[in-house]
Structure 1
Amino acid sequence: MMRDELVRLRAEFTASAATLAADLEALFEASRDVNGDDEHDPEGATVGFERAQLTAMLAAARQRVDEVDEALRRMETGSFGVCEGCGQPIPSERLRARPFTRSCVTCA
């Protein structure tokens, strides 16, 4: 059951990362066609902000994919659900809320 949820989350985060990567590429392509100066262009701050925001969101989505992959590896090795900080079991409520977590609430 938890494995299914991790697989579902991985697909969701992977799709999100793909969409964000495509959006970022489209933004880069659009800005290549314009000979603008972000600093002096009234729209420049907006474009710069959008680029920074998409870049950060893409990095976060990719990080989530990595976290889910790591959780799936921990399932294979039998260490899933064990806090990396204190070695105690992670409460099931925490795992349901955040299935890729590596720590209990106390150690987080």
Structure 2
Amino acid sequence: MTTDDLERFDRMLAERRQGDVAQSQRHAEALGALLSSRSESTADDEHDPEGPTLSSEWSRLHALRSETAADIAAVDAARERIRLGRYGTCATCGRAIGVQRLEARPTTELCIVCAVAAER
């Protein structure tokens, strides 16, 4: 992998992280608003036929925020591999990960052979 490739992947990952952080902040704000609604509400929304309950919306938003946090961690780990000179090398077998695979999944740590084997 060339220096230009590594710089391009680092920029791509930095942009992805920036988007993830913004998304996480939106989820946090939505959770805060929902928490406020829960504390102010005296109605029994668990039986409201008009839409999702506050509890189910809380669960949905919490899951989305957790997914975003996991992606931020994966992006940070990938950028650290770039810094250490290990980006694009399979963590399992040590072979090169194809550039096309990295373009599709820039946070991947496994070559396609090891990823398929891990799924079995």
**Match of residue 19 from structure 2:** 12
Higher helix proportion? 2
Backbone CA RMSD of aligned residues:
1.6
Aligned residues: 107
Instruction: Say whether 1:64 aligns with 2:71.
Output: yes
Shift of 1:35: 2.6
Instruction: Say whether 1:89 aligns with 2:96.
Output: yes
Q: Deviation above 6 Å: which 4+ runs of structure 1? A: none
* Identity of matched residues, %: 32
Shift of 1:36: 4.1
Partner Cα separation in structure 1 for residue 29 and residue 21 of structure 2: 12
Q: TM-score, normalised by structure 2?
A: 0.81
**Match of residue 10 from structure 2:** 3
Residues 56-101 of structure 1 deviation map (CA, whole Å, 9 limit, x = unaligned): 0000001111110111111111111111111111110110011111
Structure 2 residues without counterparts, runs of 5 or longer: 1-7, 116-120
Structure 1 residues without counterparts, runs of 5 or longer: none
Cα 1:31/1:95, change in 2 over 3 Å: same
